[in-house]
Each structure stands twice: as structure tokens, then as C-alpha cells.
A and B are shown apart, each in its own frame.
Chain A
Amino acid sequence: MLSIKNLHASVEGTPILRGINLEVKAGEVHAIMGPNGSGKSTLASVLAGREEYEVTEGEVTFQNKDLLELAPEDRAREGVFLAFQYPVEIPGVSSTNFLRTAVNQVREYRGLEALDAVKFLSLMKEKMKLVEIDQKLLSRALNEGFSGGEKKRNEIFQMAMLEPTLSILDETDSGLDIDALRIVSNGVNQLKSDKNATIVVTHYQRLLDYIVPDYVHVLYKGRIVKSGTKELALELEEKGYDWIKEEVDSATV
């Protein structure tokens, strides 16, 4: 479904991603771990199409399409969904209006009929249950004044509404207490199928108890330096990242 080959990207001339390779197939869950600043969010942003990151080398294909050629909105319409590490507060834009516009633009792209107000509301009700999000939140401006946890929950709610093929969850666990973590993970798990795939970015193993990965990759200094199964995450939890850093740093000296 997703194939990343030798991806290099930089910000304002500073290289951040330095040769990422990753293959994700339908039905799989991949975890990307790694210390702060290693480039996890950058990878997520590049996949979603953020313009400030310049791809300097490599290619990304998504369902046989050149992902890097597409505008951010077209990537979303093709089925890529990024749950932001820091969801943006947008005063004056109502959550409901925003979502209805988004859902209908995505549907239009996919050749589906627009949802009328009634159908949209019933879809919303159904998906709200999934992440146990309060109706009151959605009557407010988009993310405005939401707590950290509420914002994360809203991300997964939006994901449920848009039914993506590839979901990239960037640190969705941060800012969540244990109950919220369980609810959010539960939502993600229910949305999983053998037709879609999930990339879970985190630097804690905790989330992976709930969203169980098929593969775990460690990103460090813009490269995937280690890949394994969920046991790798447990090992990282126990030993920290220092041993990996040392391994990599001594090899490159």
C-alpha cells in the first residue's frame, strides 16, 4: 500500500530525513519509535504533504500513485490521514461545518454523493460513540480551548469520519490519561480492517499495549536504524534508547 524508498527531506536547507525505507501493506500496523528530535513528526508531515519540508531525494508510492506529486488535500482524499501531534486551534471555524466540508469534499473526490445535513449528523452520532467524544465539544470552534486529551480524541474522531486507508498517528498517546488512552486505542482498533493500515508514531511503549503493532521501527537521526516486532518495543521500554544511539553513533564514526 505504502512504499517509501530512500526518502530524504530537509527544512530550510537542514537535512532531517536521511534515507528512509519502509514498506506498509494493507492490514498491517507499524510502530515508529525513537528519541525526541529523530524525525518522526517530520516523516509524518512529509507523507501528509506539509510544504515547508522539501523532499530532496527518494520516492513514496501510495496505492500505486506517486504520493509526493499530490497536494495535501488530494492525499487526504486518496485516503491518507495524519492525526497531528499538535492539532491546530482554529477560532471561528465550527467543528461541524469543517467536518461536513471535509467529508463531502473527500466523498466528491471518491465519486460519492454529498451527505445531506441529516445523513451527516447521523454519521457523526455513530462515530462520536466510537471515541466517546462529547457533543458539546463539537459545537465549539475547531479545537479551540480543547484540552490536550480532547484534541487527540477529536483527531481520532475525524479519522473515523473520513475513513482513511492509511492512518498515521503522531504521538496520539501524549496528553492522554490511562482511561482516555484506552478509549482512543479502542477507537483505532475498531477502525482497523484488512484493507487499511496504521502507522503509530510514539516514543512510549505504553500505547502499543493497546494498539498492537506487527512491526516496530526505530528512527534515529533521520534513518530507520532498527526494525523488529513488538518485542523490540518492550526492549526499548526496558533499556531506553541509549544502546541504539551508541550502536549507530559508533558505527558512523
Chain B
Amino acid sequence: MSTLTTQDTLSPLLETAPSNFATARSAAKAIFLQEGLPAVKAEEYKYTQIARKLEKEISSFQQAQPADITSELIQKSIFEGFEGHLIVLNNGKWDATLSSLPEEISISELEDSSIPVGTIAKPEKDPFVALNQSSFASGLAISVPKKTQIEQPILILSVNQTNGGQVVQPRIWIEAGDFAEVTFIDQAVQPLDGALFSNQVVEIKGGHNSKVHYYKIQNEGKESIEVSNIETDIQKDAQFTAVTISLSGDMVRNNLNLNLLGSNSEGNMYGLYLLNGKTHVDNHTNVDHTIPHAESNELYKGILADSSRGVFNGKIFVRQDAQKTNAFQQNNNILLSEDATVNTKPQLEIWADDVKCSHGCTTGQLDEEALFYLQARGIDKLQAKGLLLYAFAGEVLDHIEDENFKNYCTGLVQQRLGSKF
């Protein structure tokens, strides 16, 4: 069986990659040429055979060029009820005219900045980060100055409109200054059907006392293949919260890495995957406690129907210096069909001795006792199921602080679960 070589993947992408960030790019290129895409047996990707998937679905690794998109399309793509600011990425490239941001925020093409790309999301950690760093076509730098609170969320709307079988590589650098507060909503839309490979890298630098929320919703095309790499450095007294809601796609891999670098910092990771058909969603999270007195909380929940597949891998590192760490992790899954599968693995590595860590994972069916109880009160079986599943999912949705986005997600989840509550 043939496999995708680095020549197949990287070479066509490099043709359209600009020559900026030469040092960073060549370092990443060296790594990717060495590593290639994850092999069948690669430990970190063993349940998510993304190379095989790409080989099957992506005709050639052509970088998608910006497409013709109109403001009508943008209006149509923004979720109902949204109130906030907008960043539009057109096949990965920032479209300034379609975007609208408050003046406190500075934004520029990555190309025009001196951003140290690859210093937070390091190319040696993951081949997809290396691929992106060596060949991304265009990037974006967003900076929220210190002591600036951006009240309304910023929607990063990726419009991925390719001619099928192409590659989109968004590259974003976010900096929140000391005491800055900001919320991002990351959503991709795919106006045309067809396979597509999105390989995103987002690096987030949170200053002292900053508060960053990063919400991601994945409900684009049924045929999209996506790798999302989000990594953040969290400084003293700062808080970072990620909520990742995955509803559709062909194969999705989310790498979310949190580095707790200052005392009293807090990292939160919440996720909900609600899957059907043959959708495959893999959440790999990693939180690194490097200093004392930091906290991390993690809750991922999955509901899997049909022959969908979920993967959860949660790594928690507590370094020797990281005394008084609090780290909590939980992953719960409900399987609605015999053909649905979940592979869940907590991975805790703790070198400090004075820490509070807990983790747990469960995989089961819908609670039959509870279902019968609701039916015995006159509630239709389908609705009763919806009600129970929604209650299960709600625990994750509750962590979304932006009401409009929360309502939107709630609506999508309820629609999927066929419940009306």
C-alpha cells in the first residue's frame, strides 16, 4: 500500500508558501522531512489514521488560494444571534474589508510582523504543526493591549471554499496583554461540498492576569478533514478557558496544549463531541504544570451514534517544581449504537508530591432506569432520551460564558438530540 510521502505533501505546499520567516520555516521543514506524516503505528495517532484518510480524500496538496466571497455569504455564515466583532479568513487568508474589529485591537498579517512563530506551538512536538509552519501561505497576528477588556466576543470565521481536495492552513498568533480580557469564537464554514484538509495552528500568549476564552465549534462539511493545533502559554494569575464543540466532519483531530507558566494561573479545557454517521473526532489535550500553585480543570463529554468514533487522550504533566497543583480531568461517553466506539485514555505524569489530581473516564449506554422513570411520567421515549442526553451535554455547554454563542450551541445540540427543551 502506498503512503503519502513528504514529497507528496510538503512540496506542492511549498510552491505557494512565501519566503518570510525563513529560519522558522526551514527549521520546521527539516523536522517534517525527517518525520513525515504520522505512520500507521505512531503512538499519538494510532486511533486516528489521518495520513491514510488524507491519501484517500485529498487529491493533491495544493494550497487553496483566496476564493471569491461576498459580504452576503459572510452575513449568511454568521450564526443567528451573534453580537460581536468579526475576523474573516478566506481560505486561511485574512480579509480586512470583510472583517470588523474594535480599534483597541491591533491586527496585522503575520507576514508584516516580527512575531516569533513557532515558539509556543513548537514544530518538533507534532508533524502537523511542522507542516503548517514550513508551508502556511498566510497568517494573522492579533494583539489585545494590556488592561483592555474586549466585552463582546471576536468571531474568527474561516470561510473554506475550495475546489475540492485542497489544503487550507490558517496560522494565527494571539497576544493578550497583562490584565487583558478577550473571547474568541473559532468557526469554519464550507460553502461548497467536498473534501478539504484544514491544518490550523493557533498560538496564544496570555499575559499576567489576562483572561482568554477560546471557543471552537466544528460543524462544517461532512467531508472535511481537520487538524487543529492550539497551544497557549499562561502566565501568572492568568486564566485560559477552551471550549470545543465538535458536531460534524469526516475526521477531526484537535491538539490542545496548555502550558501553565506562572503561579496562580488557571487552565480550563471543556469539550463536547456529539457524533453520528462515520464522523471521527479525536481530542488530544495536554496540560503542563511547570510551576507551583496552578490549577487545571478538564471535562470532555461524548455522545456517539451510528458508527462514529471518538478518541480522548488527556495528558497532565506535573513537574517536580509544581507543588500545590490542582489538576482535574474527566471524560464521560455515552454510546448510542453498537457500532459506535470510544477510545479514552488519561495520561498523568506527576513528579511533584504535594498535589491534588484526579481523573476518571466512563463509557456507557443511556441510563435505562432514568429513561423509564421519565416515560413512566408520560414523556415520550424519544423526548425522554433527548432530555437525558441534553442534560449530559449541558454540563459542558454551561462553561460557555457568551450567552449568544451558548444559545446557538444549545440549539444545535438540541436539534441533533431531537429534544425540545
Contacts and interface: CB of A to CB of B under 8 A. Distances in A.
Interface of A: 48-52, 71-73, 75-77, 81-82, 84, 87-88, 90-93, 97-99, 101-103, 105-106, 109, 141, 158, 162
Main SS at interface, chain B: helix
Interface string B347-376: 000000000000000000001111011111
Contact of B378 (A51, A73, A88, A91): A73
Nearest to B372: A50
A51 B369 CA distance: 10
A157 to B, nearest CB: 12
Contacts of A98: 374, 377, 379, 387
B69 interface: no
A233 B22 CA distance: 92
Contacts of A81: 376
B387 A72 contact: no
Contacts of A91: 391
26 contacts: A49-B376, A72-B381, A73-B375, A73-B376, A73-B378, A73-B380, A75-B376, A76-B375, A76-B376, A76-B377, A81-B376, A82-B376, A88-B369, A88-B370, A90-B374, A92-B390, A92-B391, A92-B392, A97-B421, A98-B377, A101-B387, A102-B379, A105-B378, A106-B378, A141-B391, A162-B378
B399 to A, nearest CB: 14
Contacts of B379: 73, 98, 101-102, 105
Contacts of A87: 373
Contact of B376 (A72, A93, A141): A72
Contacts of A51: 372
A161 B156 CA distance: 48
Contacts of B378: 73, 76-77, 102-103, 105-106, 109, 162
A98 B391 CA distance: 11
Contacts of B388: 90, 93
Contacts of B369: 88
A-B pairs, top 5 by smallest CB distance, nearest first, are A92-B391, A76-B378, A72-B375, A106-B378, A102-B377
Nearest to A164: B378
A93 B235 CA distance: 38
B194 interface: no
Contact of B375 (A71, A92, A103): A71
Nearest to B369: A88
A177 B149 CA distance: 55
A79 B384 CA distance: 19
B383 interface: yes
Contacts of A93: 387-388, 391
* Chain B interface residue number, banded: 20 to 34
From A72, A75, A105, name the one whose CB has the most chain B CB atoms within 10 angstroms. Answer: A72
A175 to B, nearest CB: 17
B284 to A, nearest CB: 27
Given A71-B381, A77-B378, A105-B380, 8 more contacts: A49-B372, A72-B381, A73-B375, A88-B372, A91-B391, A92-B394, A102-B378, A141-B391
Contacts of A84: 373, 376
Nearest to B392: A92
Contact of A162 (B367, B370, B377, B380): B377
B95 interface: no
A81 B373 CA distance: 11
A48 B372 CA distance: 9
Contacts of B391: 90-93, 141
A69 to B, nearest CB: 15
Nearest to A92: B391
Contacts of A76: 375-378
Given A98-B387, A101-B383, A90 B373 contact: yes
Interface in B366-421: 367-370, 372-381, 383-384, 387-388, 390-392, 394-395, 421
Nearest to A88: B373
Contact of A73 (B381, B392, B394, B421): B381
Nearest to B383: A101
A52 B379 CA distance: 19
A73 B383 CA distance: 11
Contact of A101 (B368, B394, B395, B421): B421
Contacts of A141: 391
A229 B379 CA distance: 36
Contacts of A92: 390-392, 394-395
A77 B377 CA distance: 8
Contact of A48 (B374, B376, B383, B395): B376
A84 B377 CA distance: 11
A84 B373 CA distance: 8
Nearest to A93: B391
Contacts of B367: 88
Contacts of A49: 372, 375-376
Given A102-B378, A109-B378, A90 B370 contact: yes
Contacts of A73: 375-376, 378-381, 384
Contacts of B372: 48-51, 72, 88
A202 B369 CA distance: 22
Nearest to B419: A101
Contacts of B395: 92
Nearest to A51: B372
A211 B164 CA distance: 73
Contacts of A71: 375, 381
From A91, A93, A141, name the one whose CB has the most chain B CB atoms within 10 angstroms. Answer: A93
Nearest to B421: A97
A60 B379 CA distance: 22
A75 B381 CA distance: 12
A98 B390 CA distance: 12
A205 B163 CA distance: 78
Nearest to A52: B368
B397 to A, nearest CB: 10
A10 B384 CA distance: 26
A149 B387 CA distance: 25
